[in-house]
Amino acid sequence: MGSCIICGTAVDGIVCQSHEEDVFFRFTGNRPDQLTVGRFYEGTVDGFADFGVFVDIGDRVTGLLHRSKLDKRLESLDWEPGETVFVQVMGVQNNGNIDLGWSIRQSPREFRGEGIQTPEGDHLPEEDAEPEPESEPEPEVDQTETESEAEPEPTQGTEVSGEEPERTPPEAVDGGGGSVAVHRSEPTTGLEDVSRVEAASLESAVGERVRVEGRIEGVRQTSGPTVFTLRDETGSVECAAFVEAGVRAYPEREEGDLVALVGDVEHHQGSVQIETETLASLDEEEASAVVSRLDGARDAAAAPESTALLADEDPVDGASDTVVEAATAIRRAVFDSRPIVVRHTATADGYVAGAAIERAVLPLVREHHDREDAQYHYFDRHPLDGESYGMGAATGDLTHMLSDRERHDEKLPLVVLVAAGGTAESADGIGLLDVYGVDRIVIDAGRIDDAVAERVETVLTGEELTTTALAANVAAVVNDAVREDLSHLPAVSYWETAPEAYAALAAEAGYDEEGLRELREAVTLEAYYQAYEDKRELISDLLFENDDGVRGLASHVAEQFRVKLDTELDTARPNVEEHEVGGLRVASLDTDAYTHRFDFPPTSLLLDALFRELRDEEPFVLLGLDESELRIRSSEGLDVEALAERVEERVPDAGLTVRGTRHGRLEFLIGRREAVHEATVAALSDVLHVPQA
């Protein structure tokens, strides 16, 4: 029985329950289940991810401080790998994952005490202090030994008989928790006597000494060991090599090297890991064999199991070769351990298309990587702020890519642009990725401009289609196992009548027209309110479940969509002005004056709904006039750039710029607003070549 170091209360340990959060502990155990939930611990920063910070608390005990638990943005956190920090253990999962909480106290002096927590119990730091060893008497020297008989000890920089003294290579050092292997740079005797084991078979080799041959995919320095990710033809495995805490083991070994590694197979945080004994380069013949196995396995793995489209008479049939090309590129990225970044518009079509690819890729990522958080490291999907992939989006993405490469040794990703990236407005952003050699795929049902096509490896487009129809077919080829999950998605993306083949697929999956409408409207509403998040779980609940609970979720959200849209339409209708111009019916709405611009629905969605409502058999154009922007919806094919030229001829001082060649959007100086509107109305009939009545 002891007493609390804060209040003196009698306790079993060093602190009472009411003062436990006033004390931080240094943890000497080696298992997550030895931690005490609620305690504050001293740790070291192990690494960073988009979703949080990994912190080492003890020997092979690492927790995740999720970004949601921080009191500041993750990007503004000034921690560095290896830095000492203080965190609170919030929970320990059954699988060994540790949930950490933020501590506002980041210095020992901000706590009222400190303790040592061992698997056997708690004690104070001073109890670890060892007594000074008694000095031993100097050994007597035999004075009869002559100077010539004594063996001189060489000192640094001193030659002995013209040769370097022979040094016996070290075998192991005591690291405080048992012996720790000291690395060698080259093969040692006996390396060839260890049996080669494939990475996929390591689970059954736990506790054994094995040899693995492959390519180094990544090198990550932690505050303890250096972690090498090694890939062979069957998969990848993390290999920990320790020489000294925070010191790079095998500094001559870099990403891309072909090596043989020998070590002991162990379990570490729920995954298989090899404790490295030797990491050596391969000779030419061995390296050639490894490359051959890797290339063969990658090509075999990247080849789709099935190249069939979703429907028997699929409208995408004319682009089937490109569908397979895009799917193969995505599969190859997964098996090359390259992250995949999907960027899409914040629309129903963009979200559903992006979610289709996500549905196909995530299971492959989980199968291919042992680490439990692989789906967050190797796949990212989030919406764009706008209709194109401009320099702002590309710069932000590239900044993250280069940071991840520098801090986590990650490869540059494959970027998949969905329902965006096809127009000239995206050319500069795509070109920036090209400078750094980032591979790009564009999946976009609209027109693909030449400026984009010449800068992208794979472009998938098609007339009379939605981007979801294209992306869902790509996803089905990427992962045949999720084909049935995707079958109703193309029909969800059509605001008006879906092609018969897609309506039939949706019906087979249990979705009638009402169910499809609810899904479409629910996704559209969520896309607006959470435009800067990837919404992985919520979108999955909406799109990929067909039980009463989730269908109830879609109905609930869709009801709010309808109420909000109907309210805005009721406001807009009385304020629509109609014009008859040379046989063309033109309607105009002052969206700046007669809409709630900063609430749902967004202007583009309102104009789409209003256009569908007002359109009839006549040639019809709807104009949405903002303070410095004019949006155009037309029942006829409209060349927006040709229209802009005609308007600029009439109003040369308006500073006119085409911002949306697909949906039609012109920007201008606020002071020339009315002049641009009048010039647009006058020029429309000429550009559309409407016959005179």
Higher pLDDT, 614 or 550: 614
Whether 81 and 217 map to the same domain: the answer is no
What pLDDT digit, counting tens, does each position of 651-693 carry?
A: 999 999 887 656 688 999 999 999 999 999 999 888 876 555 4
Whether 343 and 296 map to the same domain: the answer is no
Task: Give the per-residue pLDDT at 187.
Answer: 40
Closest CA to 31 of 269, 239, 264, 227: 269
Cα-Cα-Cα-Cα dihedral sign, residues 321, 323, 329, 331: negative
Of 241, 267, 300, the position where a domain reaches its end is 300
Whether 320 and 284 map to the same domain: the answer is no
CATH of residue 613's domain is: 3.10.310
* Per-residue three-class SS string for 380-405: EEEECCCCCCCHHHHHHHHHHHHHHH
Of 445, 468, 496, the position where a domain reaches its end is 496
Whether 292 and 197 map to the same domain: the answer is yes
Task: Give the per-residue pLDDT at 488.
Answer: 95
- The share of the chain scoring above pLDDT 90, in percent, equals 47
**Model confidence band, residue 202 (pLDDT cutoffs 50, 70, 90):** very high
Enter the tokens of residue 336.
Answer: 């090359």
Task: Give the per-residue pLDDT at 211.
Answer: 94
Asked whether residue 190 carries a pLDDT value surpassing 50, the answer given is no
The pLDDT of 454-473, averaged and rounded, is 91
CATH of residue 222's domain is: 2.40.50.140
- Give the range of the structural domain holding residue 282, as residue numbers without chain letter: 173-300
Higher pLDDT, 693 or 555: 555
Task: Give the per-residue pLDDT at 372.
Answer: 66
How many separate domains does the chain show?
Answer: 4
Instruction: Tell me which H or E stretch contains 212.
Output: strand 209-221
Whether 342 and 404 map to the same domain: the answer is yes
What pLDDT digit, counting tens, does each position of 239-270 carry?
A: 999 888 788 999 999 988 999 999 999 987 77
Closest CA to 265 of 206, 180, 211, 201: 206
The pLDDT of 535-548, averaged and rounded, is 73
Enter the tokens of residue 293.
Answer: 């196995």
Closest CA to 540 of 309, 408, 358, 350: 358
Compute CA distances 408 → 46, 123, 343, 377, 411, whole Å: 10, 36, 22, 10, 9
CA distance 400 to 418: 19
Whether 178 and 253 map to the same domain: the answer is yes
Residue in the structure block whose two tokens are 């030449």: 450
Bridge partners, 458 (sequence order): 441
CB 49 within 8 A of CB 376: yes
Give a yes or no: residue 134 inside a domain: no
Whether 295 and 320 map to the same domain: the answer is no
What pLDDT digit, counting tens, does each position of 479-494 carry?
A: 999 999 999 999 999 9
Whether 294 and 327 map to the same domain: the answer is no
What pLDDT digit, counting tens, does each position of 319-329 carry?
A: 999 999 999 99
CATH of residue 428's domain is: 3.90.1640.30
What integer best gives the mean pLDDT of the chain? 84
